[in-house]
Amino acid sequence: MQKDFILCSKLNRILVNAGDFGFKRRVKETIKGLNLKKKETILDCGCGDGFYMVVIQNLYPEIKIIGIDNDGEILNKAGKYVKKNALASIIKGDIYKLPFKKNYFDKIILSEVLEHLDNDFAGLREVYRVLKPGGLLAITVPNHNYPFWWDPLNRTRERLGFGHFNKDNELLAGLWSMHRRLYYPSEIMDLVKKAGFKIEKVKLLTHYCFPFSQIILHLGKRFLMQMHDSNTVSDSMEKFNWQRAKQGKFSFLRLGQKVLEKIDMLNENQEFALNASSHGIFLVCVKN
C-alpha cells in the first residue's frame, strides 16, 4: 500500500504541468497497469514525444526502455527530453515491421496509436510477435462513445447524421483530430482477441469532464502563448518541465487547473460500465 502511495505521489508530481486530464489519466493507468519491475525491457511503440519514456526513466531507472515512432520530427523532440544511455534508446521505425527479434520485450505500451493506423490488426500482430509469452501489453484508444460535454459539437453532428468535423481541423475535430477511427469497447476487445491476446483488464477512462474541454484546452494554450512573457507561460504549460513547476507562479492558471482537477477527481477509482461514455478505453492484455 505504501509503495502504491509513493508511486502515485511521484506520478502526480511528474504530471503537474499536463493540462489534458484525459492524457494524465491514461499515463497513470498505463504505468500502474503494467506493474513494471527492475531489469525488464519495455517498448513504447508509437512513443511520440517520449513522455512515457521520461516517466519510466524517473520512476524506474533500472528498466530498459526503447521508444519507436515513424515521425522523425516528433522524435527530435523526444531526443531533447529522454536521457539516452545504455538503458534508453529512440528509434525511427515502422510498426508493421518492428526491428526486433521475436519474443523480445517483457512489456509494451501502445498508447493512442491504433486509431492512427491504416491496418490496426496488422500493427497489433507485429506487436504480438515481439512480446514475450506471458508479457503484458497496455493499450489506450479513444472511445467512440465519448461524453457529450467533452465535445458537444461533434457529438451533435454525429447524432444528426452529419458525421464529425474534418479530422485535419485541429480546433473543431475534437476527439476525431488526426484519427482514422474511434473504438467502441466491443470493437477494441474483439480486435485484440483476434490478434491473439488475452484481455486481463478493460477500463473506461474519464467520464466526467468540463464542458467543451477539447476546445478550451486548444484555445486556452493558444491565447496564453500570446502573452508578453510567453517563455515563462510556455514553461508553466510544458509537461516536460515538471521539475521546474512552481505552485506560486501564474496563480490564475493554477486556479483554472484546480477547477478542472476537482471535476476530473470524480473519475478517480471509478469502474464505469462498458456502455458508459468516456474519453478513452484502457486495456491490459497478455500474450498467451
Tens of pLDDT, residue by residue over 220-257, are 666 665 655 555 555 556 899 888 765 545 556 667 77
* Residue 252 pLDDT: 60
What pTM value is reported for the model? 0.92
Cell of 170: 485541429
Terminal-to-terminal C-alpha distance of the chain:
29
Q: Which residues of 2-19 are buried (b: 16+ CB within 10 A; e: fewer)?
A: eeeeebeeebeebbbbbb
DSSP-derived secondary structure letter, 165: P
* CB-based contact 237:221 (threshold 8 Å): yes
CA distances from 18 to 21, 87, 198, 249 (A): 7, 26, 32, 16
Tracing cell 527492475 back to the chain, one arrives at 38
Cell of 10: 511521484
* Residue 225 pLDDT: 59
Indicate the domain borders of the chain: 2-287
Domain 2-287 has CATH 3.30.110.30: no
Instruction: Collect the ranges in the chain with pLDDT lower than 50.
Output: 248
